[in-house]
Amino acid sequence: MASYYQRHIFFCLNQRVNGESSCGDHGAKAGFDHCKARISAAGMNGPGGVRVNKAGCLDRCAGGPVAVVYPEGTWYTFVDQADIDEIVDQHLVGGQVVERLVLPDDVGR
Ligand code: FES
């Protein structure tokens, strides 16, 4: 049975107010917005396509901003819109992991 979405990307948009660092301090929302707009512009949103979702803290804050793609379970860290473009074009649409943006396994909170 095919899954409802081909791929799902979750962006941590957590914004801490206690002074500790969080993805919200490092451009997470801009990355999320850009990804959502790119997927929509490509006509890839909706069933059978790619779903772009907000998430709370994913507990890998030290690498923030972070996002994770399923079904592959690939974790990414990104800096700017060009990084998001690469994740969209190469992975979400093309199915190939963007190795240079993969979050190392040992990055946690
Ligand atoms: S604040 Fe983003 S992973 Fe924790």
- Structural domain includes residue 5: no
Q: How confident is the model at residue 102 (pLDDT cuts 50, 70, 90)?
A: very high
Does 91 fall in a domain? yes
Domain housing 41: 26-50+76-96
CA of 105 from ligand 1 middle (Å) equals 15
Q: Is residue 80 part of a domain?
A: yes
Q: Residue 37: inside a domain, yes or no?
A: yes
Ligand 1, residue 60: give the atom nearest the CA: 3
- Integer distance in angstroms from the first to the last C-alpha of the chain? 36
The predicted-structure confidence for 55-82, as pLDDT tens digits, reads as follows 999 999 999 999 999 999 999 999 999 9
Number of domains in the chain: 1
What is the reported pTM? 0.96
In a domain, 61, yes or no: no
Pocket test for ligand 1, best of 59, 68, 103, 107 (most atoms within 8 A of CB): 59
Averaged pLDDT score across all residues of the chain: 96
* Position 83 in a domain: yes
Residue 2's pLDDT band, with cuts at 50, 70 and 90, is confident
What separation in Å is there between the alpha carbon of 97 and the centre of ligand 1?
A: 21
- CA separation (Å) from 89 to 38, 66, 107? 9, 18, 25
- Decide if 92 is inside a domain: yes
Q: pLDDT by residue (tens digit) across 3-60?
A: 899 999 999 999 999 989 999 999 999 999 999 999 999 999 999 999 999 999 999 9
Q: Is residue 36 part of a domain?
A: yes
